[in-house]
Structure 1
Amino acid sequence: MPHIDYYFSTISPFTYLAGTRLEEIAARHGATITYKPLDIGALFGRTGGTALKDRHDSRKEYRLQEIARQAKKAGMKINPQPMFWPANAAPSSYAIIAAQAAMAKGAGGDLGGLVHGVLRACWAEERDISQDDTVRDLLTAHGFEARLADSGLLMGAETYANNLEEAVGKGVFGSPFYITDCGQRFFGQDRLEDLDLHLAGKL
């Protein structure tokens, strides 16, 4: 059974624009997914990236155009400059980590839906994903216990930090980033088609 390690930031617009295509691809090929939220700012600092605020104006302008184009292409609503951004990604990331751990112990819930729900809240619904009430609401909406927002804090913080170290070691440098169990790396939501072809044995 193929496996995909999925590295991402809950405040990345291009991760939001991936939608639920990863889950659809995984289902098509019988693949499993491990969700690995991480600190994108720290990742940039470790791998040669540049924070948005420090980029040249031409790069900032292109980013906005590309976000709008990709959203239109995907048929997705997006505000390229949302009210609550950049938000602290840690609370939502910890909740995702806790939800994944709960599922490993037999709990129900839609983990892929939760991940996309967090991103949609930021980029299409003008919600502050750094706030506990938002995180609890998103957990409940996707079949998880709201208490995971609190009970998973310590494990979430440790795993969040470990995800960053692991990502740097495996050559991850942005979000979304997908790595298969045979070591093939795919960066960006616009490479999901390539991931699909790879899992089909065509690429």
Structure 2
Amino acid sequence: MTQIDYYLAPQSPWVYLAGTRPAEIAARHGARLVYKPLDAAQLFPRTGGKVRAERHPSRNEYSQQDRARQARKLGLKLDQAPLFGAANPAPAAYAIIAAQAAGGGDIAALVAGFGRALWAEGRDISDDEVIRATLQTAGFDPAVADRGLLMAAETYAANLEDAVARGVFGVPFFVVGDQKFWGQDRLDDLDLFLAGKL
């Protein structure tokens, strides 16, 4: 079975805009999608990038316009300055890792739920109640993140090292064998590649 490694950060607006499409593409091609949440704030400087606060204003202005266009195209609400935009993303990432290990729910819905909570609903994805509610809505035991905390923290750090070693430099990022696809705007290319058309 083909495996798609999906490197993501739950606070990324681009991961939010990707939504459940990665899972839909994987299902269409009978591929296994493995979610690999990581610390994007550490990934960027290690791979030649900069966090948003350190980028030139022209880059940030363009990115803001592009996010708004993509959200409209996808029919998604997007608050460009979310109330909890600076919240620590690690607890949500840990929940994704623990839920994936435990099974029994819908990981795609969980990832999309964290994105929606932050970018469309003004909620804090580092808050225990938000995490538990998002887990439950996606069909997971709300306590799964508590039970898997240590394993999730270790995996979160390992995912960063794995990403750097494999040439990942942003999120969302998809790796299939030696083929790499960066950004939610390359999901069509991933789909075509899996279909043998690219």
TM over 0.5: yes
- Residue by residue over 1:99-146, the C-alpha shift from the partner in whole angstroms, topping out at 9 and shown as x without a partner, is 01101xxxx111111011111111111100011111011111111111
Aligned mate of 1:195, from 182, 190, 196: 190
Q: CA deviation at 1:149?
A: 2.3
User: Alpha-carbon deviations, 1:72-99, whole Å to 9, x = none?
Assistant: 1111111111110122111000011000
Query: Where does 1:95-106 land on structure 2 (aligned, <5 Å)?
Result: 95-103=95-103
- Is the aligned partner of 1:33 residue 2:28? no
- 1:139-165 deviation digits (Å, cap 9, x = unpaired): 111111111121111011100000000
Structure 1: stretches of 5+ with no match in the other structure: none
Determine if contact 2:19/2:111 at 8 Å carries over to the other structure.
no
Equivalence for 1:183? 178
AA partner of residue 192 (structure 1): L
Normalising to structure 2: TM-score of the pair?
Answer: 0.98
Give the equivalent residue in structure 2 for 1:65: 65
* 8 Å Cα contact 2:96-2:111 kept in structure 1: yes
Three-state SS of the structure 2 residue aligned to 1:4 is: strand
TM-score by length of 1: 0.96
Partner of 2:79: 79
Which residue in the other structure is 1:119 paired with? 115
- 1:134 paired with 2:133, answer no
Q: Distance in 2 between matches of 1:55 and 1:5?
A: 27
**Which structure 2 segments of 5+ residues have no match?**
none
Give the conservation status (yes or no) of the 8 Å contact 1:91–1:130. Answer: yes
Identical aligned residues as a percent: 60
Q: Which residue of 1 aligns with 2:144?
A: 148
Aligned residue in 1 for 2:6: 6
Give aligned pairs, total. 198
**What is the distance in 2 between the residues matched to 1:133 and 1:75?**
27
8 Å Cα contact 1:16-1:120 kept in structure 2: yes
Q: Which runs of 4+ in 1 moved over 4 A?
A: none
Whether the 8 Å CA contact 2:117–2:123 is kept in 1: the answer is yes
Q: Distance between the aligned counterparts of 2:80 and 2:31, measured in 1?
A: 32
Partners of 2:4 and 2:169 lie apart in 1 by: 16
Distance in 1, Cα, partners of 2:148 & 2:121 = 25
Three-state SS of the structure 2 residue aligned to 1:53 is: helix
Do 1:9 and 1:38's aligned partners in 2 also have CA atoms closer than 8 Å?
Answer: yes
- Structure 2 contact 22–187 (Cα < 8 Å) conserved: yes
